[in-house]
Copies of this chain bind each other. A is one copy, B any other.
Amino acid sequence: MSVETNIAIQHEDFDVGIEVDALSGTGVAGAVATFVGFVRGGADDVLAMTLEHYPGMTERTLRDIVGLAQARWFLLGVRVIHRVGRLLPGERIVFVGVAGRHRGEAFAACQFIMDYLKTQAPFWKKEETANGARWVDARDSDEAALKQWQT
C-alpha cells in the first residue's frame, strides 16, 4: 500500500466505513485506529467555516508527516483526507486512519499524525458568525501535544 497515494485534499466529503475497509483490506491488519474531526456545532455561534490551504506544500507536509510516523512504527496502511472550502457545523473536516498489526502502534501513529497535522500542515480556518467572519487562532494545547513526541 503506497502511502503517497493515500493523502487527499478535497472539498468532497468522505465515507469513514469505506476508508476503514480499505485500510483493513489486505487482511493482515489486526487494528485500525481512526480520527475524524468535525466542524463543531451547538454551543458555538459558528454558522459556517471556510478552510484555506497552500496547494503543494500541504500535500508535501502531510507526506512528510506520514513518513515520520512510518519511520517510528511498523504500519500496514495510512490514509489522510482533509477537506477544504466552505463547511457547515457537523460536517466532517479531517480523517486519519492507521492500520497496524496491533492496537498500540495504530493508536500512537494516528495521534502522532493528527498532532503534527494540527501544527505543521498549512491549513487555515475562517469562521462565519452572526457578527461577521474571523480567522481561528492557533491553540497552545496543539503545540503542547506536539512536544510529547519530540522528547
A65 within 8 A of B: no
Q: Which of A28, A33, A36, A38 has the most CB of B within 10 A?
A: A36
In the complex, are the beta carbons of A43 and B28 less than 8 A apart? yes
Of A13-21, A50-58, A127-135, which binds chain B? A13-21
Number of copies: 2
| B29/A40 in contact, CB under 8 A | yes
Closest to A23 in B: B36
Q: A89 near B: Cβ within 8 Å?
A: yes
- Alpha-carbon distance between A118 and B113 when the two chains are bound, in angstroms: 25
Which residues on B sit within 8 Å (CB–CB) of A21? 16
CB-nearest residue of chain B relative to A139? B102
Q: How many residues of A contact B (CB 8 A)?
A: 38
Asked if A114 is an interface residue, CB under 8 A from chain B, the answer is yes
Contacting pair A32 B30 (CB below 8 A): no
Instruction: Report which of B18, B31, B89, B141 forms a contact with A35, defined as CB distance below 8 A.
Output: B31
The closest CB in chain B to the CB of A36 belongs to: B32
Query: Smallest CB–CB gap between A40 and chain B, Å?
Result: 4
Q: Is A85 an interface residue (CB 8 A)?
A: no
The 9 closest A-B pairs by CB, nearest first: A17-B17, A27-B41, A28-B42, A27-B90, A30-B40, A32-B36, A16-B17, A16-B20, A34-B34
6 chain-A/chain-B pairs, Cβ below 8 angstroms: A16-B21, A27-B40, A27-B41, A28-B41, A33-B110, A102-B141
